[in-house]
């Protein structure tokens, strides 16, 4: 792999790629406004639609220009200047972000962790990243990439987003299809705040334990569901659940032009409720490795509790955050788009019928294309306790053999988000 590590003398100098065609192209974090300049008009329209200017900022002054005296002219100039500042500032900063405590300007701030650079990833050849592959190593000493798996889950994803905003850093969220369909608004908020959205299958199955047809459905339906829930294409970034990566699934992803992302540092946030323990674990592993892609889960209490303190310590210890963005977006398959559309429509109907439906982890899933029984729940919330039987029935039936034991990682992942 040819790694482009060009760094201009000034953050605002041109950032031409010295090695065209490389997998990774790097941009200093400070030149982000330049990268967005070609899309300025579209972004401003989107910001205005998302954060409309309040009526008080839209008022006009009704004064006869022929009757203006010098003091009135000075007052008018001051009011016009103030109105212009309000009109420019509110759409750009966003009243929603201000209400949530997000900083309105991260450029040039030295009191926060911030981002050192942005790396553009070309996934056309299906590259692999992370310790388990030892390929395409684009991080330098002291650099980290923040990644979050398995969400979105509003009660934890929301505070995590707020923390990332306060520290002026961006992350990559590897989203589960069912979770995206369960809360599209949360997914859209992740995108609106400037983070990268990748995919993490439809229902978090361990692909090394299923057949090729099931694995393909998990991958493709996951992509289609996330794109449908968000309403636009996402990054061609994929991470295997449990990092279980059968060769057949790797080949599928490579042929589809999707990058495979492993990890370098595992927070193991699923194994503790303590944010302090989670943070100490990450710092200890980073001290040994010196850099890496960090795995968190935005469905875990410990990450929501400990992320703020961890990012503060990363800054104190001199670590730098690198943000990954895609060169191209992922392409979906029409067959799975149709299935995903049915799930999204079903969820929208459930929300309309019951306004609290979007707060529930369970959601109606009537029989249909690839669907299960009505009232089906997400795989990590299934009640595995046996149904109650009368004493007579229990005596007549032969005892069933014990189910095969799942590995510790899978068991904890299924139960820990809900404190069980």
β 143-149/172-175 pair status:
parallel
Q: pLDDT (tens digit, 9 = 90+) per residue, 226-274?
A: 999 999 999 999 999 999 999 999 999 999 999 999 999 999 999 999 9
- 3-state DSSP: the chain helix, strand, coil percent, rounded to 5? 45, 10, 40
How many other CB atoms are found less than 10 A from the CB of residue 36?
12
Q: pLDDT (tens digit, 9 = 90+) per residue, 58-80?
A: 333 333 434 444 444 454 455 54
- Taking residues 126-131, report their average pLDDT: 96
What is the distance between the alpha carbons of residues 381 and 271, in angstroms, rounded to a whole number? 17
- Taking residues 362-383, report their average pLDDT: 36
Q: pLDDT (tens digit, 9 = 90+) per residue, 301-313?
A: 999 999 999 999 9
- Examine the pLDDT at 321 and tell me if it is beyond 60: yes
Average per-residue pLDDT in the chain? 75
Indicate yes or no: pTM above 0.75: no
Q: pLDDT (tens digit, 9 = 90+) per residue, 168-222?
A: 999 999 999 999 999 999 999 999 999 999 999 999 999 999 999 999 999 999 9
Residues 6+ apart with CB under 8 A from 373: 365, 367
* pLDDT at 27 (0 to 100): 66
Q: Rg of the chain over CA atoms, in angstroms?
A: 25
Q: Higher confidence at residue 224 or residue 19?
A: 224
- Taking residues 375-397, report their average pLDDT: 46
* pLDDT at 28 (0 to 100): 63
* pLDDT at 397 (0 to 100): 59
Dihedral of alpha carbons 188, 193, 195, 196, sign: positive
**Domains along the chain?**
113-326 (3.20.20.370), 334-381+404-418 (no CATH)
What is the distance between the alpha carbons of residues 1 and 206, in angstroms, rounded to a whole number? 29
- Runs of H (alpha helix) within 52-150: 55-58, 70-93, 95-99
DSSP letter string, 149-213: ES---HHHHHHHHHHHHHTT---EEEE-HHHHHH-HHHHHHHHHTT-EEEE--SS---GGGS-HH
């Amino acid at each position: 792999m040819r790694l482009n590590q060009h760094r201009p003398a000034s953050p605002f100098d041109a950032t031409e790629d010295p090695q065209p065609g490389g997998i990774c192209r790097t941009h200093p974090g400070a030149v982000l406004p330049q990268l967005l300049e070609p899309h300025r008009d579209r972004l401003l329209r989107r910001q205005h639609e998302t954060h409309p200017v309040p009526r008080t900022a839209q008022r006009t002054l009704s004064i006869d220009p022929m009757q203006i005296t010098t003091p009135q002219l000075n007052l008018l100039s001051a009011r016009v200047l103030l109105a212009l500042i309000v009109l420019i500032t509110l759409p750009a900063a966003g009243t929603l972000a201000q209400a949530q405590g997000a900083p309105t300007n991260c450029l040039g701030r030295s009191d926060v962790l911030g981002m050192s650079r942005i790396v553009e990833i070309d996934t056309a050849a299906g590259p692999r990243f992370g310790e388990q592959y030892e390929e395409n190593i684009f991080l330098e000493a002291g650099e980290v990439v923040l990644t979050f798996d398995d969400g979105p889950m509003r009660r934890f994803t929301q505070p995590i987003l707020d923390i990332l905003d306060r520290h002026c850093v961006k992350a990559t969220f590897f989203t589960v299809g069912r979770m995206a369909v369960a809360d599209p608004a949360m997914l859209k908020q992740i995108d609106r705040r400037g983070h990268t959205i990748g995919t993490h299958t439809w229902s978090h199955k361990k692909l090394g334990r299923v057949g090729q047809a099931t694995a393909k459905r998990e991958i493709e339906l996951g992509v289609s569901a996330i794109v449908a829930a968000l309403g636009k294409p996402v990054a061609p970034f994929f991470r295997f659940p449990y990092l279980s990566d059968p060769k057949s699934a790797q080949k599928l992803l490579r042929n589809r032009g999707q990058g495979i992302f492993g990890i370098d540092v595992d927070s193991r946030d699923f194994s503790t409720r303590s944010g302090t323990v989670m943070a100490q674990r990450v710092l200890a592993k980073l001290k040994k490795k010196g850099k890496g892609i960090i795995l968190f889960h935005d469905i875990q209490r410990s990450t929501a509790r400990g992320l703020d303190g961890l990012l503060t310590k990363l800054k104190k210890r001199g670590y730098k955050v690198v943000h990954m963005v895609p060169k191209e977006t992922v392409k979906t398959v029409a067959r799975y788009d149709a299935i995903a559309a049915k799930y999204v429509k079903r969820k929208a109907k459930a929300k309309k019928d019951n306004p609290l439906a979007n707060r529930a982890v369970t959601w109606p899933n009537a029989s249909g294309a690839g669907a299960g029984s009505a009232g089906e729940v997400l795989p990590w919330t299934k009640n595995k306790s046996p149904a109650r039987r009368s004493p007579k029935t229990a005596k007549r039936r032969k005892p069933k053999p014990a189910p095969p034991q799942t590995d510790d990682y899978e068991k904890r992942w299924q139960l820990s988000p809900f404190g069980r």
